[in-house]
Every structure is written in structure tokens, then in C-alpha cells.
Amino acid sequence: MAESRSLDELSSIVQRSLSTINGALKEKGLPQPSFAHGGPTTFTLPDGLDQARTEALEAIDEIQALLRGPIDYLFYRGILAALEIGTWDLLTQFSVPQHLGADETLSYAELAQRAGLPEDDTRRIVRGALSLRVFEAVLPPSGDGGEEKVRHNALSWTLATVPEAASFLRLVSHATDAARHAAEVLRKWPEGPTAPSGADASQCGFALAHGGRGLFDWARDHPDAETDFKSAMTMQSLAPGFAVSVAAEAAALDADGKQVPETIVDVGGSAGTLAKAFLRRYPGIRSAVVQDLPGVVATSRQAGVEPEFAGRLRFAPYDFFQDQPVHGADAYLFRTILHDWSDVQAAEILRRQVPALKPGARLLINDFVVPSVGAHTHVRDQSPRAYDLLMRVVCNGKERSLDDWKRLFAAADPRYEIVGVRMPPQAKLSIIEVVWRG
């Protein structure tokens, strides 16, 4: 990360990057990104353009910081954080987007009546959302004294129709509660999730905000929150940089003459989105077992298995702090599981897999490998840094650098060997390939 660049240089980067993206979209006959209602919920670039997007976003982010100056930038970021937290919470708690039909244009009074909110508060909530480009304002012609109204755009319609989006933002509210206790956490438990004494999952801001109970313990007694957590994980997989299809591709199970595993186990796999992506990508996989806690498995079983996976996919209850019950599988998948836990607990999870592993079995860890400072742009660096702090205050977990991962596996069992780390340009998460040498 270099010192600030000149405005001339930054404007050239933005112009060049957007020109590259625009030209590729036109060449392939693809639509422009748009806020218009009815468009796709994700904007996926053609292959080879991720670098152009990264350069454009980084330059735009740097321009905004430079043009505001230090005082205004810090003030703006603080106020914006408050706006975002309040807006997402209110929109989802009162299901405001869901009260507006696909093609409706409503006054604030009409929307307030449907949402069961005072008109003035509804107006303030929606106008806050409008400033974040959520909803579209329909303004009366100048001077005619008409009424301001609101209708959907692409962002508000996504909130209204993609349940996982609302679940994710409700989960953010819980994370915000935890973050308010961040300073108290550091004062009370300064050793953190790396030290043996910092292993307890209740040593976090979430527990301080919820009567001393850690996230996963608390969620067991709050089915709605557990459902939101499951849906939020699905939402994460819908984001292009976190797409399970990218993870399946990055695993490169058929690269360099390797034999594709016939049996895989998706540990803590929730609804099985990762396992399904692997089954689609690798027809040679004969069987996939998706493991999670009994309540999550019951929900997944009730939803059923899609016809394309019939006979190849099943769900089974498993607590990963117990010995792994599926013996002799070729590969065990862990997607954003170990970052939820301290080093002591993560090592215990890995140790619990050992009795089931055959020589040469692979563990595929789909998680952040936190880069060193300066390895990535500021914008690209924000995701792993945000998750790292989030894990600390929500569940006393952590994101890990490659050296951290090496220490973790060595502590769990020296017979684990990291043999590769892969992260495609469009991905946020890496695939860490580990072989059992027992």
C-alpha cells in the first residue's frame, strides 16, 4: 500500500479500468450494472476483469478519502456507520421492503400503515435508506405541491425477495451488540483467542451482551436466530467473492493428475451449499455427507435434496467437538468453521477428525488466509480485517495468516501437512489443502 497518489493518476486509473470493463461488457453483449428494479441480484464480470474492478474500487476509495480530508473523512465514516447500522436494523426488523409490492409506488403514509410504524419514522427510515441507494424516490413535479413517494429499486427488491439478505443484516445487528463491548473484552480477557487461557467461547462481546452465553450456545435456545445464522451463511455464498462455485474450482481436485475423491464430508455444512458445488463441479464424487447440529440437519432434511443430487448427498447430525463418525472418506471440507474458534478449540476440532482419517485423506479448509500488510489493496484488505475483528468480539475466534494456519495444524497433530494454498483472483477465501500423513 503506497503513499497517496495524485488526483491525475487516480482519475486515469478509474477511467482506464471502467473503460476496460465497459468494453468487455459491450463486446460480450452483457448488460451494464444498474440500480433498476428487476435486474440480477449479483453483478458478475467476465473472466479476466477482476483486476480492473479491484483497481477501480481502490482508486475511488482513495479519492473519497483524499477529497474529504482527515477530519471530514473520520467524521463521515463515523456518521455513516451509525446510519448503516440503524437503517439495516429497522428495515429488517419491521420488514419495510416486504410491505412494498414489486410494481407499487406508495406514499410514506401508505407504507407506514402496512409496516405498523408512525408515518414520520417511516419517512426518516426510508430516506436514510435512499441515501444508501436503497429504494427509489418518486418526486412530484417542481412547484405542484404533490406528495413524495417511494418504489423499489434493485437493492430494496433484493432485501424484499432474498430472505438470506435480511437474515444476514439481522445477524449484523447481533454483531453490533457484541462490538459495543469490544473494549471491555480486551480489558477483561487480554490474552485473547491465541493463548490457552483464552480458549473459552464465552470470552467475547456477544456473551457480555447476552447474559454470559456465547453465540452458538445462545442460538440453540433461540430458533429464529439459529435460522438467521444458517441463512446468513447462505447469503455469504451468494456474494461473488464468497461463491461456493469459486471454492469448488479453487480446490482443483482434478489438477495435476490427482484422483478426484469419491467420498467427501462437509463438516458444519449447514444447508450443504458447498457440498453441492463440489458435486456439480466434480461428477466423479460419488457420495457427500453434510454434517451439522441436529436442529440444522432436521431443517435441511425437511427441505429435501434436489433431484440432481439424488443418491449422492445426505445430511447427518454431528458435533465437531466429538470424534468424527464418518471413517475413511477421501476429503473433509471445512468452510468458515475454524475461524469461529480460538486456537485451542480449533485444534481440538482438528484433533477430533484424526480417528476417522485414512492415510492420504485431505482436509480442504475454505477460509481467509490473512495477508501481510501491503500485500493487497486497502479495499481488498477490508474483508479479512473486518472478519478478524468480528470473530474476536462475536465468538472469541480469529482469522489466520498462513503462519497461523501452520501453527494451528502443528498443534493439532504434526501428522497434518499443508501442501497447498490457492485463491483465485475473484475470491475472498482461500483453499488450504492439508494431507493426513498418519
Reduced 3-state DSSP string for 276-336: HHHHHHCCCCCEEEEEECHHHHHHHHHHCCCHHHCCCEEEEECCCCCCCCCCCCCEEEEEC
Cell matching residue 256: 495435476
What stretch(es) of the chain map to CATH 3.40.50.150? 167-436
Dihedral angle at the C-alpha atoms of 217, 344, 298, 42, nearest 10 degrees? 100
pLDDT of residue 197: 61
pLDDT of residue 94: 96
Helices 163-179 and 223-238 cross at an angle (nearest 10°) of 110
Residue 202, Cβ neighbours under 10 Å: how many?
A: 17
pLDDT by position in tens, the chain (length 438):
457 899 999 999 999 999 999 999 999 999 999 999 887 888 888 888 988 999 999 999 999 999 999 999 999 999 999 999 999 999 999 999 999 999 999 999 999 999 999 999 999 999 999 999 999 999 988 767 789 999 999 999 999 999 888 888 888 888 888 888 889 988 988 877 776 766 677 888 989 998 888 888 888 888 777 777 777 777 777 787 889 999 999 999 998 778 899 999 999 998 899 999 999 999 999 999 999 999 889 988 988 899 999 999 999 999 999 999 999 999 999 999 999 999 999 999 999 999 999 999 999 999 999 988 876 788 888 888 888 988 888 888 999 999 999 999 999 999 999 999 999 888 889 999 999 998
Q: What topology does CATH give the domain 167-436?
A: Rossmann fold (3.40.50)
The bridge status of strand 287-292 relative to strand 136-138 is unpaired
| Residue 376 known to be catalytic | no
Cell matching residue 61: 476509495
What stretch(es) of the chain map to CATH 1.10.10.10? 91-161
Residue of 327, 339, 376, 378 with catalytic role: 339
* Closest residue by Cα to residue 315 from 221, 215, 220, 230: 230
CATH number listed for the domain at residues 91-161: 1.10.10.10
- Write the DSSP string, 132-170: TT-SEEEPPPTTS----EEE--HHHHHHHH-HHHHHHHH
pLDDT of residue 227: 75
Determine the Cα–Cα distance for residues 205 and 189; give it in Å rounded to an integer: 11
